């Protein structure tokens, strides 16, 4: 591979700028967050445009000091393609050369500067600072020597434009005009997972969570050149979500291992426990109280919902002198209430309300009165951006909010009135591209925004089942890097798996593969959720629709026939699953106020309610003999496996361990229920016996940054398929104008 001059080289193609010195990719002047390895992949390609670069060359360049599988390179290229906005089937930039490697096809211009590059120097401590460089689209591939006066002229022009923006009111100081990104800085560079950043009240430091010590702990870092990260907590208690007190003297945080909200001096010391439940703390402006959600944190993936029903908002005195007080009620608004943020005047709290199909924004008065939607129903129906809104924070003057849209694909901005309602439509501040942006925080002057840039790699895995007490080493059977692969289901003969693949913000595809993972293919142009086989094995049922309604369809396994069976005559219906005989559909519904299980004939008609739980009894899975329904119960922050007769009746709880137990399938013996479980800080596959209540752990995953979902058991009893996902991420900061 040719040497890369990382002190001077800037590479330009189309609307992109690759700055090798600051390791930043820009598109139309906006930063495109990439993980370090993905940036290395881009750099290795861009320095040799038009050449075929073998896979071995690329792997030796990117992973010079370690041995990795070829699948890692494939995943990097897939993430990079998404960041560049191209489809692998119709590549504009990266062409796959079968059996050899890859070719980077666009014309590239390399700029070598005699003096300081347009990009400012990194500080040597993992922080980069990239000013948007001048763009030279369409120029031939040459080396250009730029004069010092050209660089200075560019700097003067940028300063002049900034001054003009200030005087014209465009520069964002908390007003109604939507800001844009002027420059980006990568604050941390750890190869694991850094997340949940929070600005200090003075704006000179940031607190965040990282697993660099082996467990998740709270760190702080001054935002000056050469600053070192300081670890505040220790002991392996997995601490998250730091929040500074208004006077900067204390930090509140959530402890996953010990539970509840804790407070520690900002300079370090002994933590003090405020509550024994809840997460996502936020301080009142006067520092006297802390608002938080009742649900714990369940995972750290890019698409995770902050809270699930029946999570509510609570307030506790910051000095621990009072018991927590509940300020929102279960079901009002519908969904789980999470991620609160206090308005600068202390009068209102904005939060997101979530379930498994949507996430929207609400605000409430600090005393729990005057509940209001941020966006009205028409905004939800007419715009997908509002449906997936979360992680909202107030602007410094309280006249606008920033929030995460499109399940982390963008950060958006909307002005609000004095009652907390949106004024007009939201505007995008920037797109997160290949990563997902979550957990945003604003500097006190509103000129800087900090966030977690998270990349979650999700794929289907297969494990052989031995004595049903332990599974074999997992085998990865899909190789996606930029989409989730979920909801596997084995055909009745055990020979084929149907599954769902989707990117955040786009419609899900339904695909097939052989039971050994080979011959992966799309079923026509079918788009839908929760695919499940009819007993005949020649048809697949699936759901379509969104937050305000759903339909149920079937498609022939060969894709030759696709037809709608019926529409659900209500809102907020999801997770439709076929009964064992294929004559009815079981589904979640909030018709009764909380999530419960309902059943409707495959021909349509009036649904029948099967569970009547005040918290949640959902996610039904019927046994193969059609006699039993496995149920997922929610009790406070925990979920449990339960079972009930298929015709309805008593719901019997089978598991009692703290944590999460997410039901999905049955073993062929109609006794053991398969579920994804979180015990402590780790997710694994488990089974529980309907008759003996014996719980068996079937996998031994131990990474804190990974999770498993949707375990499906082959009817032959020999295999289990499931989603396995890992997340990495860093803290980024953008300057707004």
- What are the percentages of helix, strand and coil residues in the chain, rounded to 5? 10, 45, 45
What confidence tens digit (pLDDT) does each residue in 381-436 have?
Answer: 444 334 579 999 999 999 999 999 877 888 999 999 988 999 888 888 988 766 78
- Coil/strand/helix, residue 482: coil
Q: Residue 507 has what pLDDT?
A: 67
333 burial level (CB within 10 Å; 0-12, 13-18, 19+)? middle
| Range in 11-20, 87-96, 349-358, 517-526 with the lowest mean pLDDT | 87-96
- How large is the average pLDDT for residues 239-268? 95
Does pLDDT of 362 surpass 70? yes
Band of the pLDDT at 116, cuts 50, 70, 90?
Answer: very low
Q: How do 181-186 and 617-622 pair as beta strands? A: unpaired
Band of the pLDDT at 152, cuts 50, 70, 90?
Answer: very low
Q: Report how far residue 491's alpha carbon sits from residue 453's, in angstroms, rounded to the nearest whole number.
A: 38
Averaging pLDDT over each range in 285-299, 368-382, 430-444, 516-530, which range is the top one? 285-299
> Is 524 in contact with 482 (CB distance < 8 Å)?
no
What's 406's DSSP letter? G
Does pLDDT of 73 surpass 60? yes
What's 616's DSSP letter? B
| Range in 273-287, 375-389, 412-426, 723-737 with the lowest mean pLDDT | 375-389
Query: CB under 8 Å to 352, separation ≥6 — which residues?
Result: 306, 307, 337, 338, 339, 359, 360, 361, 362, 389, 390, 391, 392, 403
Longest dimension (CA), the chain: 81
Is the bond preceding residue 494 a cis peptide, omega within 30 degrees? no
Kindly state the helix (H) or strand (E) to which residue 319 belongs, with its residue range: none
> Is 634 in contact with 616 (CB distance < 8 Å)?
yes
| Range in 107-116, 483-492, 531-540 with the lowest mean pLDDT | 107-116
- How large is the average pLDDT for residues 430-446? 88
Return mean pLDDT, the chain: 84
Q: Residue 599 has what pLDDT?
A: 94
Q: Report how far residue 374's alpha carbon sits from residue 401's, in angstroms, rounded to the nearest whole number.
A: 10
State the helix-helix crossing angle for 55-62 and 70-84, rounded to 10 degrees.
90
Q: Report how far residue 128's alpha carbon sits from residue 21's, in angstroms, rounded to the nearest whole number.
A: 9
Q: Which two tokens stand for residue 308?
A: 């699930």
Q: Residue 3 has what pLDDT?
A: 52
Q: Distance of alpha carbon 185 from its chain centroid, rounded?
A: 21
Does pLDDT of 348 surpass 70? yes
Q: Report how far residue 83's alpha carbon sits from residue 586's, in angstroms, rounded to the nearest whole number.
A: 38
Q: Report how far residue 429's alpha carbon sits from residue 414's, in angstroms, rounded to the nearest whole number.
A: 10
Give φ, ψ of 82 to 5 degrees: -65, -40
Q: Residue 144 has what pLDDT?
A: 38
What confidence tens digit (pLDDT) does each residue in 576-591 have?
Answer: 899 999 999 999 888 7
* Total Cβ atoms within 10 A of residue 32: 25
Give the HSE-up count for residue 522: Cα atoms under 13 Å, Cβ half-sphere: 9
Buried (b) or exposed (e) across 272-306, using 16+ Cβ within 10 A?
eebbebbbbbbbbbebebbbbbbbbbbbbbbbbbb
Q: Residue 569 has what pLDDT?
A: 64
Which DSSP string do the residues of 127-181 spell out, in sequence order?
A: -EEEEPPP--TT--S-EEEE-HHHHHHHHHHHHHHHHHHHHHT-S-SSSSSPP-E
What confidence tens digit (pLDDT) does each residue in 35-46 have?
Answer: 777 888 998 999
Q: Residue 140 has what pLDDT?
A: 35
Does pLDDT of 131 surpass 80? no
Q: Residue 165 has what pLDDT?
A: 38
Q: Which two tokens stand for residue 694?
A: 């014996």
Q: Report how far residue 34's alpha carbon sits from residue 24's, in angstroms, rounded to the nearest whole number.
A: 8
Q: Which two tokens stand for residue 347?
A: 């009068």
Q: Report how far residue 695's alpha carbon sits from residue 674's, in angstroms, rounded to the nearest whole number.
A: 10
Task: Give the full edge-to-edge strand order of the sheet including 628-635.
Answer: 617-622, 628-635, 638-645, 652-653
Angle at 716 between CA 528 and CA 490, to 5 degrees: 5
Give φ, ψ of 77 to 5 degrees: -65, -40
Q: Using the Cα atoms of residue 391, residue 396, residue 399 and residue 400 in order, give the sign of their dihedral.
A: negative
> Is 607 in contact with 589 (CB distance < 8 Å)?
yes
Q: Residue 155 has what pLDDT?
A: 40
> Is 47 in contact with 39 (CB distance < 8 Å)?
no
What confidence tens digit (pLDDT) does each residue in 474-514 have?
Answer: 999 998 877 789 999 999 999 999 999 976 556 688 999 99
What confidence tens digit (pLDDT) does each residue in 172-204 have?
Answer: 444 467 898 888 889 998 999 999 999 999 999
Angle at 675 between CA 669 and CA 681, to 5 degrees: 145
pLDDT above 70 coverage of the chain, percent: 84
Buried (b) or exposed (e) across 137-166, using 16+ Cβ within 10 A?
eeeeeeeeebeeebbeeeeeebeeeeeebe
Strand partners of residue 489:
498
Q: Residue 314 has what pLDDT?
A: 98
Q: Residue 494 has what pLDDT?
A: 96
Q: Report how far residue 288's alpha carbon sits from residue 93's, in angstroms, rounded to the nearest whole number.
A: 55
Does pLDDT of 622 surpass 70? yes
| Range in 62-76, 105-119, 430-444 with the lowest mean pLDDT | 105-119
Q: Report how far residue 313's alpha carbon sits from residue 326's, in angstroms, rounded to the nearest whole number.
A: 6
Give φ, ψ of 164 to 5 degrees: -60, -40
Strand partners of residue 514:
496
Higher pLDDT, 543 or 650: 650
Does pLDDT of 667 surpass 60? yes
- Taking phi over 0 as left and psi of -120 to 50 as alpha, with beta for the rest, 125 belongs to alpha
* Total Cβ atoms within 10 A of residue 525: 11
């Amino acid at each position: 591979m040719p040497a890369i001059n990382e002190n001077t080289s800037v590479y330009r193609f189309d609307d992109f700028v690759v700055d090798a010195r600051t390791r930043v990719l820009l598109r139309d002047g906006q930063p495109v967050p990439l993980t370090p390895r993905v940036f290395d992949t881009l750099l290795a390609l861009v320095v040799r445009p038009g050449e075929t670069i073998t896979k071995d060359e690329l792997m030796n360049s990117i992973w010079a000091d370690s041995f990795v599988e070829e699948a890692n390179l494939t995943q990097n290229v897939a993430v990079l393609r998404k960041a560049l906005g191209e489809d692998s089937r119709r590549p504009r930039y990266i062409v796959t050369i079968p059996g050899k490697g890859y070719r980077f096809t666009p014309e590239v211009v390399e700029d070598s500067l005699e003096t300081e590059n347009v990009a400012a120097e990194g500080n040597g401590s993992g922080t980069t600072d990239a000013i948007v460089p001048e763009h030279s689209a369409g120029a031939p591939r040459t080396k250009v020597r730029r004069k010092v006066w050209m660089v200075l002229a560019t700097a003067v022009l940028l300063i002049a434009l900034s001054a003009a923006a200030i005087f014209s009111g465009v520069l964002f100081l908390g007003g109604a005009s939507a800001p844009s990104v002027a420059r980006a800085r990568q604050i941390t560079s750890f190869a694991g997972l850094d997340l949940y950043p929070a600005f200090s009240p003075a704006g000179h430091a940031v607190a965040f969570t990282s697993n660099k010590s082996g467990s998740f702990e709270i760190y702080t870092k001054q935002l000056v050149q050469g600053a070192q990260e300081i670890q505040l907590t220790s002991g392996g208690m997995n601490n998250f979500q730091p929040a500074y007190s208004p006077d900067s003297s204390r930090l509140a945080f959530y402890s996953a291992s010990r539970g509840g909200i804790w407070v520690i001096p900002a300079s370090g010391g002994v933590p003090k426990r405020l509550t024994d439940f809840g997460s996502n703390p936020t301080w009142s402006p006067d520092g006297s109280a802390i608002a938080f959600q009742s649900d714990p944190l369940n995972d750290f993936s890019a698409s995770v919902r902050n809270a699930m029903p029946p999570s509510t908002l609570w307030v506790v005195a910051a000095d621990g002198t009072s018991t927590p007080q509940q300020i929102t009620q279960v079901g009002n608004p519908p969904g789980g209430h999470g991620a609160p943020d206090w308005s600068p005047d202390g009068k209102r709290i904005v939060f997101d309300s979530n379930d498994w199909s949507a996430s929207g924004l609400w605000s409430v008065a600090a005393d729990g009165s005057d509940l209001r939607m941020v966006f009205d129903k028409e905004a939800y129906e007419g715009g997908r951006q509002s449906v997936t809104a979360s992680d909202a924070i107030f602007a410094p003057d309280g006249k606008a909010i920033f929030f995460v849209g499109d399940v982390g694909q963008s950060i958006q901005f909307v002005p609000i009135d004095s009652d907390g309602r949106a004024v007009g439509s939201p505007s995008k501040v920037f797109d997160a591209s290949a990563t997902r942006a979550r957990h945003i925080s604003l500097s006190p002057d509103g000129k800087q925004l900090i966030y977690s840039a998270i990349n979650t790699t999700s794929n289907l895995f297969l494990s052989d089942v031995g004595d049903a007490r332990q599974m074999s080493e997992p085998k990865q059977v899909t190789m996606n890097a930029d989409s989730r692969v979920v909801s596997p289901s084995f055909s009745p003969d055990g020979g084929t798996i149907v599954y769902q693949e989707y990117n955040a913000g786009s419609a899900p595809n339904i695909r097939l593969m052989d039971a050994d993972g080979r011959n992966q293919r799309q079923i026509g142009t079918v788009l839908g959720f929760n695919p499940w086989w009819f007993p005949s094995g020649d048809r697949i049922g699936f759901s379509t629709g969104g937050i305000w309604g759903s339909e149920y369809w079937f498609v022939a396994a060969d894709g030759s026939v696709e037809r709608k069976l019926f529409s659900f005559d209500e809102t907020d219906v999801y997770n439709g699953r076929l009964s064992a005989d294929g004559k009815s559909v079981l589904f979640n519904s909030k018709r009764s106020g909380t999530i419960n299980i309902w059943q409707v004939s495959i021909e349509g008609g009036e649904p029948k309610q099967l569970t009547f739980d005040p918290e949640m009894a959902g996610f039904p899975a019927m046994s193969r003999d059609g006699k039993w329904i496995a149920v997922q119960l929610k009790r406070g922050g925990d979920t449990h496996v339960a079972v009930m007769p298929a015709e309805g009746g008593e719901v019997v709880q089978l598991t009692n361990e703290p944590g999460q137990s997410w039901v999905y399938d049955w073993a062929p013996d109609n006794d053991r229920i398969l579920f994804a479980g979180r015990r402590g800080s780790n997710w694994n596959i488990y089974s529980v016996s309907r008759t003996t209540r014996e719980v068996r752990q079937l996998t031994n995953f131990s990474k804190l940054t990974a999770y498993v979902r949707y375990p499906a058991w082959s009817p032959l009893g020999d295999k289990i398929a499931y989603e396995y996902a890992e997340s990495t991420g860093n803290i980024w900061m953008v300057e707004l104008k």
